[in-house]
Amino acid sequence: MKITFLLILLLVVVRIFSQVAPTQNTGLVKDPFFNNPKPNTEASKKVQHKHSDVFGIKQDKYEGNPVFSGNVVFEHQGSVLTADEVVLYQKENFLKAIGNVVLTTADGNRITAEEMEYDGNTERGIARRNVVLTDPKQTIKTETLYYDKIPNTAYFNTGGTIYSNDGSVMYTKAATYYLNTKMIDFIGRSNIETDKYTIVSDNIKTNQTTGISDFFGPTTIRAKENPRNYVYTELGTHNSKTGESFLNKNSRIHYNDKILTGDKLYFNRNTGFGKGNGNVTLDDPQQKRFIKGGYGEIYEKKDSAMVTDKPYAVKILSKDSVYISAEKFLTYQRPDSVNKLKKKSFLRAFKKVRIFKTNMQGRSDSLSFNETDGEMHLIRKPILWMGVKQVTGDEIRVYSNPEKEITDSIRVLGNAFAISKVDSLNMKDEFHQIKSKNMIVYLKDNAIDIAKAVGNAQAINYADDENQKTHEITRIGVALSTCGEIAAQFLERRLEVVDCNIGANTDTYPMSLISKEQRFFKDFNWNTKDRPQKWRDIFLDTPNYPETVYQSDNSLFERADAERKKLEEKNKPKTPIRVKK
């Protein structure tokens, strides 16, 4: 009977408190978060008490508002709150929950905390101490969480960790979570950790449903398997499901110690394929070489790349640089055949290759360059200029010492033809010429020292004599040589020694006995209009410079030839004149 009476009394008291508002000011001080700038014009529903083990009022505590303890349950607009203890501020339609607090929203989201405040008028809540928000996509842990039911958002600024169901873990100082769209807006420097990569960004928005993250500040996505491989952007998008990144501002792709930049970049971390559009630069710091163009592609797993759309490459040397243009460049690395732990770097260029270096210029249809060993092949209609010397052939191979940055030798394979100006200080049409099947040119201090022509070798060279006392140069004549092998040695600007070996046949003619036509091979072509004179000439199909006009002096031969003709005429036998009878 006593128990029944007490229950009836409790119900009456609860009924009274639920209908009659206190006349005195409760002194409740609410967080500014509960001040809704756009209050609901409709009358707010009251929070409903559903269950508690104990109910009471302590005038000296909680400003005399009712306190519910033990398995407390309150309900509001489909959301259910449970706690060890709840203080109800009836006039304000406001709750304070303490101990093992759980708020389950109408859509199934769950917030647990040690303490929570909930405003029934604004439908906002603040959870404090060991806060955990759980929904089907992830779990958020923080110390203070601000929950707003109407837009269905949760916000924290006390630092938090987000555990996604896909295994990724996110760390951030502050973030807003939109529970309807599953969008997380990270504020300030944040980290996303997955099993394959780490994202660090100053501003990320991530959609947990689509797996797409948008970046609005400096952002790095770094591979865990190889931390040197990463992408950087200040505006972009990453899809965690497909592994694709779209990078749109100040972006870079770092892969295998190389860097691809461009106005817009794309990279797929699963396939290792990337591409760039607009102002593309492929930088290889280890090779001290970069390639610029309008479009580029990289293949991380194959360690190769391609650049097109008016591309050009620059090989940076300590005292000079090599500039190369073509319609397309390919770069790749391959294991060393001797030491598998080392890699060799290769550069290939296709169509309309143009080369400029201060002491060497060249043209060809294509190019193959072993950068590690310093071996460059100019293929199909190659032509190479060095000072006042020109070399052509079916293929030209240039051998350099990468460490010393000097050219050691040049090999010409097929139809080798070397031309050298006799004296660069004058404008006479006098040229040393050597032709053969193949040729090797040795250099000293980046200047031609010795040239060896092998196979059907022919030479036209001017022979001079120097007075040992006055050092005056006297022209002896022109030597025509035909032999199996020719070795020509250059001293300073002059061709000093020509050795003709294997079936040697050399004839030297004074200037009075050799005509201008005999002083040139039939296919002689001293090309000045196509030779680059400055590095920007590599962008032209041909600079089309005016052909250099040289002075031709054939006077000695012409005078001597005239005398020879007179002598021949004079020595002709006279034909008897027949007289008619």
Q: What does the domain layout of the chain look like in residue ranges?
A: 251-381, 388-574
Cα 433 to Cα 525: distance, rounded to the nearest angstrom: 11
Cα 324 to Cα 369: distance, rounded to the nearest angstrom: 11
Q: In the numeric block, which tokens belong to residue 534?
A: 């400055």
CB 201 within 8 A of CB 207: no
Cα 8 to Cα 2: distance, rounded to the nearest angstrom: 10
Band (pLDDT 50/70/90 cuts) for residue 12 is very low
**Domain 388-574 is classified in which CATH homologous superfamily?**
Lipopolysaccharide (LPS) transport protein A like domain (2.60.450.10)
> E strands within 5-164?
48-51, 54-57, 66-76, 79-89, 94-104, 110-119, 124-134, 138-148, 153-156, 160-164
**Domain 251-381 is classified in which CATH homologous superfamily?**
Lipopolysaccharide (LPS) transport protein A like domain (2.60.450.10)
571 sits in which H/E element: helix 555-571
Q: What is the mean pLDDT of residues 210-216?
A: 93
CB 245 within 8 A of CB 238: yes
The SS3 of residue 403 is coil
Q: What is the dihedral of CA 81, 84, 90, 96, to 10 degrees?
A: -80
Cα 325 to Cα 491: distance, rounded to the nearest angstrom: 33
Query: Structure pTM?
Result: 0.81
Query: What pLDDT digit, counting tens, does each position of 250-288 carry?
Result: 999 999 999 999 999 999 999 999 999 999 999 999 999
Question: With 50 as the cut, is the pLDDT of residue 16 above it?
Answer: no
Query: What pLDDT digit, counting tens, does each position of 61-92 carry?
Result: 777 889 999 999 999 988 999 999 999 998 88
Query: What pLDDT digit, counting tens, does each position of 514-567 carry?
Result: 888 888 999 899 999 999 999 999 999 999 998 888 888 877 777 876 777 777
Cα–Cα separations (whole angstroms), residue 403 to 316, 348, 356, 374, 537 = 12, 21, 20, 9, 28
Q: What is the pLDDT of residue 20?
A: 38
Q: In the numeric block, which tokens belong to residue 236?
A: 């972009």
CB 119 within 8 A of CB 94: yes
Same fold, 251-381 and 388-574: yes
Q: Which amino acid is at 271?
A: T
